[in-house]
Structure 1
Amino acid sequence: MKTIFITGASSGIGKATAEYFAEKGWQVIATMRNLTKGEDLAKLPNVIIMPLDVTNSKQIHETCQEAISKYDIDVLFNNAGYGLMAPMEVATEEEIHQLFNTDVIGTMLVTQEFIPYFKKRESGTILTTTSLAGIIALPLDGVYGAAKRALTSMCESIYYELKPFNVAVKVMIPGGTHTPFQVPHKDVTGYEKASENQRKYLLDGNAQFPLADEAVEVIYTAATDGKDKIHYPTDRVCQKLYDQYMNTNIEDFKIDFYHLLFETEKH
């Protein structure tokens, strides 16, 4: 039986991933800050719930090492994180530190715990949830997008470090996903129209964002396909927007996107 270790498994993509892998016969180590939120997961066969606050470095070390010592782990899925949407000047220093501590530093510290383990066994896969906002810079996502771009860069760097040890490193890239994703600070003041147009762009003509079901199928594929591939947009809409961006000159995209957001005419 294969085993996956998931951070941020109490809701959204993390919880849906835990449920999906359990259904596929995997052993799932589902970690979260508040264990009461994992009571329903704990009732599923082959699911183990463990405490993990990724802003607590002591707990990161203790939980990861306990899991590594008890279970034969095949996949690490770094999923814990949350969002912040606001003009750059509005985000407070405390909010910036807290988001980076959770989304970036916590993920790096968890990854550090698993790297020696995977290198020693000469196998394993590291999956990390980033965001389309970490690929395409979006207004009001200056802090969140910077955090997710940092994670993308980390993954692309350790891809080279770990490939000689037969350890795969892959980036899971959601766009807009219909989940209870936490955005504790959301302020679009002065950018209301741009925010509305950005939402339309990410919806791509759909009434709502794709469900987490679509994302978990891609995550399962990434964990099992054996491909030497690093970027995995996690739904059809994100894949389309990702491909458009990657196939467009960045300077041309910048101009077109600006006019789309602010409904101005190109000259």
Structure 2
Amino acid sequence: MQKTIFITGASSGLGKATAKLFQEKGWNVIATMRRPEEEKELNRLSNITLVELDVTKTLKSQETISEILKSNSVDVVMNNAGYGLIGALEAFTTEQIQAQIQTNLLGVIDITRAFIPYFRERKSGTFINVTSTFGFMGYPTCSIYNASKFAVDGFSEGLAYELAQFGINVKVVAPGGMQTDFTGRSLQGGMHQAYGQLTAKVSEGYSEEQIANYTKPEDVAQIVYDAATDGKSKLRYIAGSDAIALYKERLELTAEGQFEKIRAQFIF
């Protein structure tokens, strides 16, 4: 029987790459995005349905999912929508901070909560929540982004225990740097003069030369596909050579040891 994946944030980057890969593998794809009328690629592919959905609009999202489930079966939900708020904490307004948490964390929770009764009745289903390298390690100028992604990781682990009794899997895919437009449309920044030297140092990691060494979104999409189809109860999938190296370093040095190593790089 043909399976279906529901993807948030499918208009670009990893979301779009994942939609295309699953379509190629013979799956039905429900690709959600805020402005589907602007999509010019996925709408040309068979077995892909574009749906308008903004994860920050809780009630509307729940209504949309309810309508989808009336006429579609869904096997995998990929919570991918998100963006990075990068800068020193003092550079941000309360509204910016709340928007980051609303999209990256509460959006994941709301979409997941809308699908749980459906999966529970079926006694099957998989949630794949996209976090980040910065979902298991902190980094300067990323405190709010860290907060959102650490929270999704903890949410996923706790939920995995709750839902195991119903045959539902919860998995986390944690990419490192990706060759996407994350540093463009998916990145918001804030500047504060007291942190100019620190911000400049961190910004070196977002140079064109550095981004060229990052993992391609298609390679991370393959890891998402593996997580969806491997039949394992594995929780975390670390995606990309840089992410794997950092995760290994964290395990070897311990979290405190890695903290001291990174801290030493940014003491001026």
Q: TM-score, normalised by structure 1?
A: 0.92
AA at the equivalent of 2:197: G
Q: How does 1:250-265 map to 2 (within 5 A)?
A: 250-262=255-267
Q: State whether structure 2 residue 80 is matched by structure 1 residue 79.
A: yes
- 1:130 maps to what in 2? 131
Structure 2 segments unaligned to the other structure (5+ residues): none
Tell me, yes or no, if the aligned pair for 1:155 and 1:171 is still in contact at 8 Å. yes
Structure 1 segments unaligned to the other structure (5+ residues): none
User: Which has the larger displacement, 137-146 or 53-62?
Assistant: 53-62
- 1:227 maps to what in 2? 232
Q: Distance in 2 between matches of 1:213 and 1:186?
A: 30
- 2:202 maps to what in 1? 195
- 2:145 maps to what in 1? 144
Shift of 1:10: 0.5
Q: How does 1:30-179 map to 2 (within 5 A)?
A: 30-179=31-180
- 2:215 maps to what in 1? 210
1:85-113 Cα distance to aligned partner (Å, 9 max, x none): 10111111010011111111111111000
Q: TM-score, normalised by structure 2?
A: 0.92
Given candidates 244, 248, 252, the residue that maps to 1:239 is: 244
Q: Distance in 2 between matches of 1:186 and 1:91?
A: 6
Tell me, yes or no, if the aligned pair for 1:218 and 1:235 is still in contact at 8 Å. no
Tell me, yes or no, if the aligned pair for 2:130 and 2:172 is still in contact at 8 Å. yes
Shift of 1:212: 0.3
- SS state of the match for residue 89, structure 1? helix
AA at the equivalent of 2:188: P
1:98-142 Cα distance to aligned partner (Å, 9 max, x none): 111111111111100001111110001000111111111001000
- SS state of the match for residue 187, structure 2? coil
AA at the equivalent of 1:183: L
AA at the equivalent of 1:98: A
- SS state of the match for residue 155, structure 1? helix
Shift of 1:197: 6.2
Q: Distance in 2 between matches of 1:174 and 1:198?
A: 15
- SS state of the match for residue 105, structure 2? helix
Q: Distance in 1 between matches of 2:86 and 2:152?
A: 18
Change (3 A) 1:49 1:207: closer
Shift of 1:189: 2.2
Tell me, yes or no, if the aligned pair for 1:193 and 1:261 is still in contact at 8 Å. no
Given candidates 174, 184, 188, the residue that maps to 1:184 is: 188
**Number of equivalent positions:** 259
Q: Distance in 2 between matches of 1:135 and 1:125?
A: 22
Shift of 1:255: 1.4
Shift of 1:198: 5.5
1:60-103 Cα distance to aligned partner (Å, 9 max, x none): 11111111111110000000011111011111101001111111
Shift of 1:245: 1.0
Tell me, yes or no, if the aligned pair for 1:4 and 1:26 is still in contact at 8 Å. yes
Q: Distance in 2 between matches of 1:37 and 1:128?
A: 25
User: Which has the larger displacement, 83-92 or 179-188?
Assistant: 179-188
Shift of 1:196: 4.7
Q: State whether structure 2 residue 254 is matched by structure 1 residue 249.
A: yes
Change (3 A) 1:160 1:260: same
